[in-house]
Amino acid sequence: TALDDDLLTPEATADPYPLLDALREHDPVHWSADHRAWLLTRYDDVSAAFANKALSNDRVRPVRAARAARGETSDSAADRVLALMSEWMVVSDPPAHSRLRKLAAGAFKGQRISAMDASITALVDELIDAFTGGDLIAGVAYPLPATVIATMLGAPVADRDRFRDWSDELALVAFGGGGSDRHERALGGLHEMDAYFRSLIEQRRSEPGDDMLTAMMGTEQDDKLSDDELSAMCALLLFAGHETTTNSIANATLALLRRPDDLARLRRDPDLLNTTVEELLRFDGPIKVINRWVVDETEIRGRTISPGERVHLVLAAANRDPERFADPATVDIERSPNPHVAFGKGIHACIGAQLARMETRIAVGRIVSRLPDLALAAEPRWKPAVASRSLEALEVSV
């Protein structure tokens, strides 16, 4: 069967786990002929796949090659944006990946991230102050991550709203959806974004600041990112760090609202926040599936995997593998150790994980402590999406 289609049925959109449990148990290396893709659902197979050199992250180049083979014009706006995205480290293999990752690493040093604790808390409090009930995603979980990234890049406060629009437009282009006119409109926005980042880069060159963008300019290193690469990097950080973090905050809050005992325990003992956030990333994390492109023949659990095929690493299934996690379908807010793969593993493991954890911890911590009467006001619906685990809205009363 076409698994992508199965995962998009209304039942599986609401709750993909029964289907993933069945696959993990009966067909852990599942072939979907329609998609020419393998689905890995066991923790050990997913973990090993993250280290398998036959599996490539270079996922944009094949898409561009296929477009070219179909004779689609190379000067279309879509192709121009695909060209920008093909510079991203998340779709690169070594050695290009190693170089980009090393140059970006300076911006993600632990100290730089922990120094943002107070400003993120202030931002969250500001959003909660203005929140009088309704959609908690629109009110808190959605605006926070884009504002944090804008702040980290050193963008002026007045420009921060535009980051959210650009982030939505990037997602539209990366994941598709909407008609081609929406696509075109999104591309217009992305050109504006590129111009914006370039002028920000120019400013920082003449006037270095204590921000992430300045850090990524790598003034002390011989090798430097070009302006093209810096602009693409800013776009990647916005894209990779926005919806994921929104969903991490929203999914965690929903799981707690559905478990009043855990919520009460967490309110009594805020020291449980760390393990709670890890557990909820495991239990219902923002990314269900990560893709790889097969470049060399390889074998997984006795199956031959051939070049040109794709492999889906189903994080949502690995994170509930009973071989790895006791009582995987149960939330245990004190679970430790908790070696979940919500942030991936290996050379591409999320570079923003510390920041994402901090944002989720602060947002969830402030939401539960500052909104003591928080309650679900409507049964939330999940977006029909294969790769992400994302609520349409989280309607609450406060």
For ligand HEM, the binding residues (CB under 6 A) are 57, 89-90, 101, 149, 236-237, 240-241, 244-245, 248, 285-287, 290, 342-344, 348, 350-352, 355-356
Closest contact distance (angstroms) between CB of 348 and ligand HEM is 4
Closest contact distance (angstroms) between CB of 90 and ligand HEM is 4
State how far the Cα of 114 lies from the Cα of 116, in Å rounded to an integer: 5
Closest contact distance (angstroms) between CB of 276 and ligand HEM is 14
CA 324-329-332 angle, to 5 degrees, is 85
Closest contact distance (angstroms) between CB of 372 and ligand HEM is 26
Contact partners, residue 306, CB within 8 Å, separation at least 6: 294, 297
- Residue 32 or 47 having the CB closest to ligand HEM: 47
- Residue 204 or 348 having the CB closest to ligand HEM: 348
State how far the Cα of 315 lies from the Cα of 158, in Å rounded to an integer: 37
Residue 385 tokens, joined: 């999406």
Paired strand residues for 388: 287
Closest contact distance (angstroms) between CB of 360 and ligand HEM is 6
- Residue 183 or 277 having the CB closest to ligand HEM: 277
Q: Which residue is nearest to ligand HEM (CB)?
A: 352
Closest contact distance (angstroms) between CB of 128 and ligand HEM is 20
The answer to whether the beta carbons of residues 60 and 85 sit under 8 Å apart is: yes
- Residue 257 or 342 having the CB closest to ligand HEM: 342
Closest contact distance (angstroms) between CB of 133 and ligand HEM is 25
Give the chain's length. 398
- Residue 252 or 305 having the CB closest to ligand HEM: 252
Helical spans, DSSP H, in 154-304: 160-175, 180-206, 212-216, 227-257, 260-268, 273-284
* C-alpha dihedral sign at 312, 385, 281, 352: positive
Closest contact distance (angstroms) between CB of 71 and ligand HEM is 30
User: Which of the 8 DSSP states describes residue 309?
Assistant: -
Residue type, 110: G
Residue 5: what are its φ and ψ, rounded to 5°? -70, -40
Q: How many helices (H) and strands (E) does the chain have?
A: 19, 10
State how far the Cα of 265 lies from the Cα of 23, in Å rounded to an integer: 34
- Residue 95 or 302 having the CB closest to ligand HEM: 95
* Residue bearing tokens 């090393």: 102
- Residue 183 or 252 having the CB closest to ligand HEM: 252
Closest contact distance (angstroms) between CB of 397 and ligand HEM is 26
Nearest to 371, CA basis, from 127, 205, 40: 127
- Residue 30 or 348 having the CB closest to ligand HEM: 348
Closest contact distance (angstroms) between CB of 74 and ligand HEM is 26
The H or E element spanning position 355 is helix 353-370
- Residue 183 or 389 having the CB closest to ligand HEM: 389
Burial 172-203 (b: 16+ CB within 10 A, else e): bbbeeeeeeeebeebbebbeebbebbeebbee
- Residue 263 or 313 having the CB closest to ligand HEM: 313
